[in-house]
Amino acid sequence: MSLLLEVVTPERLVLSQEVEEVVAPGEFGQFGVLPGHRPFFTTLTIGELMYRVDGRENYMAISGGFAEVLPDRVTVLADTAELAAEIDVERARRAKERAEERLKDLVPLDPEYPVVLAALKRALTRLKVAETV
């Protein structure tokens, strides 16, 4: 048995593939989906999405959005999504460095703090996912 995994961003269809398993970053923690899973709808956060094809784990970096889970399909509507092979590692490193520098001048109560923290988390996720290639 398999699931159809579709990952869509506002710009493009990132992936449409039959997979054996999906593990995604839900707002309240990671969740896993196997064929036959009960239907549900959830919000997503910044993190890595793993999908298994022919026993091999594949990864992509996503940030925000929603996931609809049905017994035979997982549809991810993400703010951004990048397959591991698509990630520009140097760009992600620069984004990480910029965010770390900006955080040095902020305190948690600063309105800009969560925005910069999210940018850092996105950069770290992209770097981690890029290492899986």
* pLDDT tens-place string over residues 36-69: 999 999 999 999 999 999 999 999 999 999 999 9
**Mean pLDDT of all residues in 11-26:** 98
Q: Which fold has domain 86-130?
A: 1.20.5
For residue 30 the two structure tokens come to 């990671």
Q: How confident is the model at residue 1 (pLDDT cuts 50, 70, 90)?
A: confident
Angle between helices 89-104 and 113-130 (to 10 degrees): 150
- Please list the residue range(s) of the chain that carry CATH number 1.20.5.440: 86-130
Residue 73 has a pLDDT of 98
**Mean pLDDT of all residues in 68-85:** 98
Is the pLDDT at 118 greater than 90? The verdict is yes
Domain boundaries 3-85, corresponding CATH code: 2.60.15.10
**Mean pLDDT of all residues in 56-84:** 98
Angle 6-25-50 from CA coordinates, rounded to 5°: 55
Q: How many CB atoms lie within 10 A of CB 96?
A: 18
Is the pLDDT at 96 greater than 90? The verdict is yes
- Please list the residue range(s) of the chain that carry CATH number 2.60.15.10: 3-85
Q: How confident is the model at residue 115 (pLDDT cuts 50, 70, 90)?
A: very high
Q: How confident is the model at residue 133 (pLDDT cuts 50, 70, 90)?
A: confident
Q: What percent of the chain has pLDDT over 70?
A: 100
